[in-house]
Amino acid sequence: MNFNIIRIARTILNVKDLDRSREFYVNALGFVETESSDEYIYLRGLEEHTHHSLVLKKSDKPGVHALGYKAAREEDLDKLAALFASKGLKTKWLDEGTQHAIGRALHVHDVSGIPLEFFCKMEGAERLLQRYDLYRGARIQRIDHVNCSVPDVEKAYDFFVNELGFACSEYTATENDRIWAAWLHRKQGVHDQAFMNGDGPRLHHIGFWLPDPLALIHCCDILASLGYGDCIERGPGRHGLSNAFFLYLRDPDGYRIELYNGDYLTSDPDFKPIRWELDDPRRQTFWGHKAPDSWFSETSPFLDIETGEEIVSQAAKLAKIKPEFIL
């Protein structure tokens, strides 16, 4: 690897109603609204010193535009472009100024068809970590990870580890040692990118870091008091995988958001990935309660970097039908 990917840095989602989304993300969850227009809302966490980590784009068509990764240098972007082109994967350059608050950016499709974005420049913003007078809702601190559903986790794993330089913290394996799910990282936590076995490519969820486990409980109270109780899909609980506290929510457009706190350090070069057996019930929820069926079956579509059209999942291709976005 001759480039440096630092961390997951932002995601871009289509939403139908910006005012409705603002009520949920800003007033209920406590995101900071950096900037907005009639077409976009740019959101960040209290800890973040950059312009945004979540972009909500007004559209009648649901979908995820890109999972954005920050690279260390401009030359890293050129090296990444060469790598993806050498694999015959789609690449598209967006010049500086094409996207608001972002410098030059490379958009690509990975081996699973997931639209990724790489950039190294983003406008700065005031870091509000110690502005406790502004803390509200879940007290969102920063973006932490993304999780994607793909039909071949081993293929995705091999590409991210062997080609992009990610490391594995934990994984689930079948009896014949096939990787069923994997948690991969660039920063020194458990994951930036996770893959789970299923129909895809589809986005399963975006995870945001909270200051402490009590923030999850407080968020549940806030959501219930504002009439968002039905948005709580799973939790609060503690994962076996990652050891983190979690709460899964569904936003007004159906996207799944995880509120997350309490994983561990993975920086040592001799850290060995933790293996979980597929039939171990503690891997999902350490306390034992099961996830609802929706957590496994409902995901969100990605959009093609060139056409902007929904990327048809493998199962839909086989069935020769166009999938509908699942709310």
**What is the structure's pLDDT at 275?**
95
The β-bridge relationship of strands 54-58 and 5-15 is parallel
Contacts of residue 224, defined as CB under 8 A and 6 or more positions apart, other chains included, come to: none
Class of 144-301 in CATH: alpha beta
**What is the structure's pLDDT at 278?**
86
**What is the structure's pLDDT at 288?**
81
Mean pLDDT by 10 residues, the chain (327 residues): 94 98 98 98 98 98 97 98 97 94 97 98 98 96 98 98 98 91 97 97 98 96 97 95 95 98 95 91 83 94 97 74 47
**What is the structure's pLDDT at 327?**
41
* Domain map (residue ranges) of the chain: 5-119, 144-301
Do residues 66 and 305 make contact, with C-beta atoms less than 8 angstroms apart? Answer: yes
**What is the structure's pLDDT at 282?**
82
pTM recorded for the entire structure: 0.95
* Cα–Cα distance, 95 to 50 (Å, whole number): 19
**What is the structure's pLDDT at 108?**
98
**What is the structure's pLDDT at 325?**
46
C-alpha neighbours within 13 Å on the C-beta side of residue 176: 1
**What is the structure's pLDDT at 320?**
57
Query: Do the domains spanning 5-119 and 144-301 agree at the CATH topology level?
Result: yes
Helix, strand, coil fractions of the chain, as percent rounded to 5: 20, 35, 45
As its CATH architecture, domain 5-119 has Roll (3.10)
